């Protein structure tokens, strides 16, 4: 029996499972008026999901919202500051491209190329190392540390009607895949041992 072929097969299986673990990160938050600083007292709600792909250097922004008292004037991510405080905009200004404006409810799904300066607020790049790469690293570090928030500004609440402090989403299915991959490798290693022993 060809041991190398078995190990090679197992490695391919594992490498197939790894990217989801190592090269993608998700961050989520509910969007609420009570999360604004100070609280907006808006009855509106929504949710936001951010997916960073480290291979493609992209950021996918998925949002839905409804019940706004004002109409949308801008939406973007602010970074990086402690919860309960305010900080400047990190992402594209004044608003994410294609974000539904002038409405009280809507959905949004767009993937940004984070290797482009246009995906950031110019001031954020200037204040974070002056390069797109340093800005990207700082934005991700801010997301990882729970120091970035999605903010939705409206005609009634110009400082923000609903906000979501983004926090990392654990990906149990990714770990399950990795564990399955390791299990297969162990199985192959055992089989190899047995087959080697029997000549």
- Interface ranges with Cu ion (CB under 5 A): 151
Closest separation between CB of residue 116 and Cu ion, Å? Answer: 20
Considering the complex, what minimum distance in angstroms separates the CB of residue 25 from Cu ion? 22
Q: Give whichever of 160 and 181 is closer to Cu ion, judged by the CB atom.
A: 160
Specify the residue, 119 or 151, whose C-beta has the smaller distance to Cu ion: 151
Report the nearest approach of Cu ion to the CB of residue 49 (Å).
18
Q: Which is nearer to Cu ion, 63 or 151 (CB)?
A: 151
Residue 17 or 72: which CB sits closer to Cu ion? 72
Transcribe the chain into DSSP letters: --HHHHHHHHHHHHHHHHHHHHSEEEEEEEEEGGGSSS------EEEEEEEEETTTTEEEEEEEEE--SS-EEEEEEEES--TTS---B-BSSSS-TT---S-SSEEEEEEEETTSGGGB-HHHHHHTTSSHHHHHHHHHHHHHTT-EEEEEEESS-TT-SEEEE-EEPP-HHHHHHHHHHHHHHHHHHHHHHHHHHT-
Closest CB to Cu ion among residues 125, 177: 125
Q: How far is the CB of 67 from Cu ion (least distance, A)?
A: 19
Q: By beta-carbon distance, which residue lies closest to Cu ion?
A: 151
Q: φ and ψ at 151, to 5 degrees?
A: -130, 135
Q: State the nearest-atom distance from the C-beta of 39 to Cu ion, in Å.
A: 16
Question: Smallest distance, Å, CB 37 to Cu ion?
Answer: 11
Cα–Cα distance list, 179 to 18, 184, 199 (Å): 10, 9, 30
**Residue number, 124 or 188, with CB nearest to Cu ion:** 124
């Amino acid at each position: 029996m060809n041991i190398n072929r078995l190990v090679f097969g197992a490695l391919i299986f594992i490498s197939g499972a790894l990217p989801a673990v190592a090269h993608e990160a998700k961050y989520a938050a509910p969007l609420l008026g009570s999360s604004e600083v100070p609280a907006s007292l808006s009855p509106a709600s929504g949710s936001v999901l951010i997916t960073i792909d480290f291979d493609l250097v992209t950021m996918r922004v998925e949002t839905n919202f409804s019940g706004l008292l004002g109409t949308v004037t801008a939406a973007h991510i602010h970074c990086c500051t402690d919860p309960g405080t305010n900080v400047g905009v990190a992402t594209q200004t004044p608003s994410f491209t294609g974000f539904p404006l002038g409405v009280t409810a809507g959905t949004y799904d767009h993937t940004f190329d984070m290797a482009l300066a246009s995906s950031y607020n110019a001031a954020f790049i200037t204040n974070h190392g002056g390069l797109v790469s340093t800005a990207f690293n700082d934005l991700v570090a801010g997301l990882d540390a729970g120091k970035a928030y999605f903010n939705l500004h409206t005609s009634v609440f110009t400082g923000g009607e609903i906000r979501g402090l983004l926090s990392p989403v654990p990906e149990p299915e990714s770990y399950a895949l990795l564990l399955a991959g390791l299990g297969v490798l162990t199985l192959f290693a055992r089989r190899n041992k047995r087959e080697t022993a029997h000549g």
